């Protein structure tokens, strides 16, 4: 399988944390295959951490994975935001298409 950037990633996943992520730096962690998968994995990690039943060492690994996923999602959204266009009313009663970054500034 490939992620959004065309990179190949393995499918192994144990309890919401990639099995081969343990002890890896954030730059070495496996990226999710999609934005939706990242959000689902984040939600699963939050539920497990909120339960309070996870041992400390596993909680730390899960927390690091959650940080990685949150940054990955933020990066994807930043890239998409740059490509989005929005319809804005113009002075003649019609609409013009403008990049989102011009609207937000």
Residues listed for the chain: 105
CA–CA gap between residue 67 and residue 45 (Å, rounded): 11
pLDDT confidence of residue 15: 45
CA–CA gap between residue 38 and residue 20 (Å, rounded): 16
Distances (CA, A) of 57 to 49, 63, 85, 94: 12, 10, 44, 59
Alpha carbon dihedral 31, 15, 64, 35, in 10-degree steps, equals 30
pTM (two decimals): 0.59
pLDDT digit string, tens, across residues 14-64? 344 444 455 555 556 899 999 999 999 999 999 999 999 999 999 999 999
CA–CA gap between residue 32 and residue 50 (Å, rounded): 22
CA–CA gap between residue 49 and residue 59 (Å, rounded): 6
Domain 19-104 is in which class?
mainly alpha
């Amino acid at each position: 399988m490939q992620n959004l950037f065309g990179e190949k990633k393995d499918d192994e996943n144990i309890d919401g944390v990639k099995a081969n992520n343990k002890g890896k730096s954030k730059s070495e962690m496996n990226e999710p295959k999609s934005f939706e998968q990242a959000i689902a994995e984040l939600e699963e990690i939050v539920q497990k951490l909120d339960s309070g039943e996870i041992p400390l060492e596993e909680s730390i690994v899960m927390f690091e994975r959650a940080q990685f996923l949150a940054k990955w999602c933020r990066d994807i959204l930043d890239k998409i935001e740059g490509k989005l266009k929005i319809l804005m009313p113009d002075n003649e009663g019609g609409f013009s298409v403008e990049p989102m970054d011009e609207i937000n500034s």
